[in-house]
Chain A
Amino acid sequence: MRSRRTGDFSYSLAIGLLAAIGFLILVGPVVIVLLTSFTEGRSIRFPPSGLSTQWYQLLFDATSSRQIHRAALNSLQVAGATMIMATVLGTLASVALARRSGKWARALDTFFMWPMILPMLAFGLAALMYFTFLGLRPSLELIMIGHTIVVIPFVLRTTSASMSQLEPALLESSASLGASWFYTFRRVTLPMIAPGIIAGGFLAFVASLDNVPVSLFLTGPRSDMLPIRMWGMMESTLDVRVAAVSGVLIASVLVLMLVLERLVGLTRRLRD
């Protein structure tokens, strides 16, 4: 009994300590970015010199940050479309593959991971060659397609992980009770794997929002993307608005989570 108690103590200590380091690593850089975004100074620098909201004001200024707004709008459009396409395609495929353990199913599963493994620079270059060959000009639609391909593995992995928890007996009993396939899918499968789908969709959204290499090759003159614009701002002028963009994004996701919580009980949905 005594050894069990020391064992439990060492468990709490070890897990607590590692988790604490984990939280520090997760939060530390974000705190630095946020503090930096409130600097009074003229360039992105840590520690910031004095606190002010001037960079946020400048970021929201309709005239001086017009290009940033347009790029942000483009990026949000692309990320939204990418998320929807990737979630639908990825979920269907993981439902198809989850309960098959045959050789070809496993091979297909690995193949579906490839876009993540192939460096995006190479994919961007190859995709541009291909689209040009088809006679297509760079546009937002092509960026959406390119992003969808590279973010699908996120959806596929998270939904397959949820699918593997699904009891096959549950689906079979639903079917044997006379439920149509679609009814079973909608009322049994989908709710059960919803956490995985939501997690995958979220990953797909932010991965698209932050993508530099694929966008670089597929952008045209009217399809300016936010991360590329930020890259230029950071590299040549250390513009503090780059940090302020992250501040805005963090604040909006916080608000979004609170709203979703109110509306649909997001965390309950993630739990039950």
Chain B
Amino acid sequence: MTSRPYTRRKFLAASAVVGSGSLVWRPAYAKGSVTAAMYPGTWEEAYRTHVAPALKKAHNVDLGMTPLFAVDQIAKAQAARGTPPFDAFVLDPGPRVTGIERGLFEKFDPKRLTNVGKLPAGAVDEWGVTVAAQVVGIGYNPKKLPRPKGWEDLLKDPWLSRLGMTGFQTTFGTVSIIEIAKRFGGSETNVEPFFTEIKKVLPKVAAIGAPASMPALFQQGQCDVTYTNTQTVDTLKSRGVDIEFVKPESGAVTFFTTVHIAKGSKEIDNAYKYFDTVISTAVQTALMQPPNNFVPVNREVKLSVNLPMANLDEMSKFVRHDWSKINPLRAGWIERFNREVSK
């Protein structure tokens, strides 16, 4: 309540004019700050513990965080057109494409990052830089079910009657449903086979829930198999939940989480410093350790044994999707899901 960012910024601007170079008193955050939107929960906790101190130490920049889900970041930035309530986004590929289409990002210059050479090819572009990978597959309870082999097993017993599903609202839900559709003849832009198959078995599905409730539903035995990512599985496992990750036969699915500078941000320099710190080897290594369990994007990081690959180059063989093709179809899929799944 006492410290409002805008008043502090005004103060900073004023003090910069008055006393640049002179012996004027300077506050501890002399070099300024950057405000980043951050996923609440694991992400925010991990970034507060590892990124914020590293950024302070390396560049004397304070990291402020606004806990927001990817979808809320886009909505907030769009509602606040021109005066973004934060300087940096962190986004999954779907919202990222929306952000680009709606002109919510500043152009990005990869050359301004000192650590850019340590990233695998394709990790940067003119809009932003990748800070984490997510590997999506199947999570199941080994005490209650045999190990499923691939996506198609989810629609067969014994897994089907224990299946917990989510819709197209989340990135991992969308890519998982696309992969199921592919097993039945569909493609990245055609999930019709999924709807045909799911219609036949709908009453047997154990739970079709809100993404946020899946961990609790799984833990309480409402469902024992679901699609999810390695980070969630590792985190739940360390919390004593019976869950194992399975890489489907058709290959694990991966997507990248990227960061972007908000259009109209006044802290562009500090945003670059923040990004550079996040992708540094030390921070990426720390973020990979439990309880954070991130999949790193820096090639110098020695991968943990929990991850379903030996090195980052292997990930180029994982299944990836083109979200510029998926995004225009997603609204229709969500609507279709509502209709088919609700009676």
A contacts B directly (C-beta below 8 A): yes
| Interface, chain A (partner B; CB < 8 A) | 41-46, 67, 74, 77, 125, 128-129, 132, 135, 137-140, 216-217, 219-224, 228-229, 231-238
Do B220 and A231 have beta carbons less than 8 Å apart?
A: no
Known: A222-B5, A231-B212, A236-B42. A41 touches B67 (CB 8 A): no
Question: Which residues does chain B contribute within 8 Å of A140, judged by CB atoms?
Answer: 1
Do A232 and B44 have beta carbons less than 8 Å apart?
A: yes
Residue in contact with A42 in the complex, picked from B44, B86, B238, CB distance below 8 Å = B238
Question: Which residues does chain A contribute within 8 Å of B6, judged by CB atoms?
Answer: 137
Do B39 and A232 have beta carbons less than 8 Å apart?
A: yes
In the assembled complex, the CB of A2 is this many whole angstroms from the nearest CB of chain B, namely: 50
Question: Which residues does chain B contribute within 8 Å of A43, judged by CB atoms?
Answer: 219, 236, 239-241
Do B41 and A221 have beta carbons less than 8 Å apart?
A: no
Do B5 and A45 have beta carbons less than 8 Å apart?
A: no
Q: List 23 A-B contacts (CB under 8 A).
A: A43-B236, A45-B220, A67-B48, A77-B1, A125-B75, A128-B76, A128-B80, A129-B79, A129-B80, A137-B6, A137-B85, A139-B4, A140-B1, A217-B75, A220-B85, A222-B3, A229-B40, A229-B67, A231-B40, A232-B40, A232-B44, A237-B41, A238-B241
Question: Which residues does chain A contribute within 8 Å of B5, judged by CB atoms?
Answer: 137, 220-222
In the assembled complex, the CB of B231 is this many whole angstroms from the nearest CB of chain A, namely: 9
Whole-angstrom distance between the alpha carbons of A234 and B85 in the complex?
25
Question: Which residues does chain A contribute within 8 Å of B67, judged by CB atoms?
Answer: 219, 224, 228-229, 232
Question: 8 other contacts beyond A137-B4, A222-B1, with CB at 8 A cut-off?
Answer: A41-B240, A42-B239, A45-B240, A137-B83, A217-B72, A228-B40, A231-B40, A232-B44
Residue of B nearest to A235 (CB): B212
Which residues of chain B in 72-88 are interfacial with respect to chain A, using CB atoms and an 8 Å cutoff? Answer: 72, 75-76, 79-81, 83, 85-86
Question: Which residues does chain B contribute within 8 Å of A232, judged by CB atoms?
Answer: 39-42, 44, 67
Residue in contact with A125 in the complex, picked from B79, B219, B238, CB distance below 8 Å = B79
In the assembled complex, the CB of A105 is this many whole angstroms from the nearest CB of chain B, namely: 35
| Size category, B interface | 35 or more
Whole-angstrom distance between the alpha carbons of A194 and B23 in the complex?
60
Whole-angstrom distance between the alpha carbons of A223 and B85 in the complex?
12
Whole-angstrom distance between the alpha carbons of A46 and B221 in the complex?
11
Question: Which residues does chain B contribute within 8 Å of A125, judged by CB atoms?
Answer: 75, 79
Do A235 and B83 have beta carbons less than 8 Å apart?
A: no
Whole-angstrom distance between the alpha carbons of A132 and B78 in the complex?
10
Whole-angstrom distance between the alpha carbons of A135 and B80 in the complex?
9
In the assembled complex, the CB of B91 is this many whole angstroms from the nearest CB of chain A, namely: 17
Chain B 8-36: CB-based contact to A (< 8 A → 1; otherwise 0): 00000000000000000000000000010
B189 CB-CB contact with A under 8 Å? no
Which residues of chain B in 221-252 are interfacial with respect to chain A, using CB atoms and an 8 Å cutoff? Answer: 232, 235-236, 238-241
In the assembled complex, the CB of B16 is this many whole angstroms from the nearest CB of chain A, namely: 20
Residue in contact with A238 in the complex, picked from B3, B65, B239, CB distance below 8 Å = B239
Residue of B nearest to A140 (CB): B1
Residue in contact with B64 in the complex, picked from A45, A135, A221, CB distance below 8 Å = A221
Which residues of chain B in 30-62 are interfacial with respect to chain A, using CB atoms and an 8 Å cutoff? Answer: 35, 39-44, 48
Of A46, A125, A137, A139, chain B has the most CB atoms within 10 Å of the CB of A137
Whole-angstrom distance between the alpha carbons of A46 and B217 in the complex?
11
B216 CB-CB contact with A under 8 Å? yes
Whole-angstrom distance between the alpha carbons of A221 and B48 in the complex?
13
Do B86 and A221 have beta carbons less than 8 Å apart?
A: yes
Report the 7 A-B pairs with minimum CB-CB distance, sorted nearest first.
Answer: A232-B40, A236-B41, A232-B41, A221-B64, A43-B239, A132-B80, A236-B42
Known: A45-B220, A140-B1, A238-B216. A219 touches B66 (CB 8 A): yes
Whole-angstrom distance between the alpha carbons of A46 and B222 in the complex?
12
Question: Which residues does chain B contribute within 8 Å of A238, judged by CB atoms?
Answer: 215-216, 219, 236, 239, 241
In the assembled complex, the CB of A230 is this many whole angstroms from the nearest CB of chain B, namely: 9
Whole-angstrom distance between the alpha carbons of A232 and B44 in the complex?
9
B282 CB-CB contact with A under 8 Å? no
Question: Which residues does chain B contribute within 8 Å of A41, judged by CB atoms?
Answer: 240
B68 CB-CB contact with A under 8 Å? yes
Do B240 and A42 have beta carbons less than 8 Å apart?
A: yes
Residue of B nearest to A237 (CB): B235
In the assembled complex, the CB of B297 is this many whole angstroms from the nearest CB of chain A, namely: 20
Known: A221-B64, A235-B212. A46 touches B79 (CB 8 A): no
